[in-house]
Structure 1
Amino acid sequence: MLTVSIAETADRIVVSVSGECDMSSSGGLASALDAAMESSLPVEVDLAELQFLDSSGIHVLVTAYHASQVRSATVYVTRAAGMVATVLELTGVGALLAPQPQGER
């Protein structure tokens, strides 16, 4: 089961993801990221509580990255661990969505 929550802070939107992101649940993450990117604030995708991420979840993250480029927005991933961090590293998506220093956003 995938759980996604969105919170706004003074300087960013935080999309917190927990559980398992697979083909049957990745639509929920896509919808949350689309909604979060409506703001002019940078979007942090907090993966600390995500335990599983398959190719459909990777697709959602890459799609969000491309959408952010079109919108001149910022989306980045934080706190991935374990298998999720490994998947992000092996696919190159971790580097693509790594937080950038404030001046480079």
Structure 2
Amino acid sequence: MGVLTVSTVETAGRLVVRLSGECDMSCSDELAAALSAAIGRSPRTEVDLGGLRFLDSSGIHVLVTAHRDARARQAIMYVTHAAGVVATVLELTGVAALLAPPPQASGDRS
């Protein structure tokens, strides 16, 4: 059972949702709610995965669904700072490319 910590801060014209811990099926609803709220509040949402140690298929599903929801609202949602096993999972599934920061976000600093 994963323990996920979600925090949200507004910075430089975007909302940053920071995730830490582990994201599996037991906390995917919590993640979905946090991302939906963030996307509803801001046209630009960064999901900082730097503190995330584990991400399973349910977490990937939530990220992809949130990305689609953002696009439907003509907003942007992308992930940053994926490392270790989380980065590997995103790369192997092809989701890393889908959720990559837009070119103008490359200079963003949290």
One fold, TM greater than 0.5?
A: yes
Amino acid at match of 1:78: T
Equivalences for 1:10-89 in 2 at 5 Å? 10-89=12-91
Deviation at residue 11 of structure 1 after TM alignment? 1.3
Task: Report deviation, 1:60.
Answer: 0.1
For structure 2, the 5+ residue unaligned runs are 106-110
After TM superposition, the runs of 4+ consecutive aligned structure 1 residues lying more than 6 A away are none
Indicate the residue corresponding to 1:98 in structure 2: 100
User: Could you say what the CA RMSD is over the residues aligned between the two structures, in angstroms?
Assistant: 1.2
**5+ long unaligned stretches in structure 1:** none
TM-score under structure 1 normalisation?
A: 0.94
Q: SS at the partner of 1:25?
A: helix
Distance 1:32 1:50 in 2: 15
The code of the aligned residue for 2:13 comes to: D
> Using the alignment, how far apart are the partners of 1:79 and 1:8 within structure 2?
17
> Matched residue pairs, number?
103
Distance 2:73 2:7 in 1: 22
Name the TM-score, length of structure 2 as normaliser.
Answer: 0.90
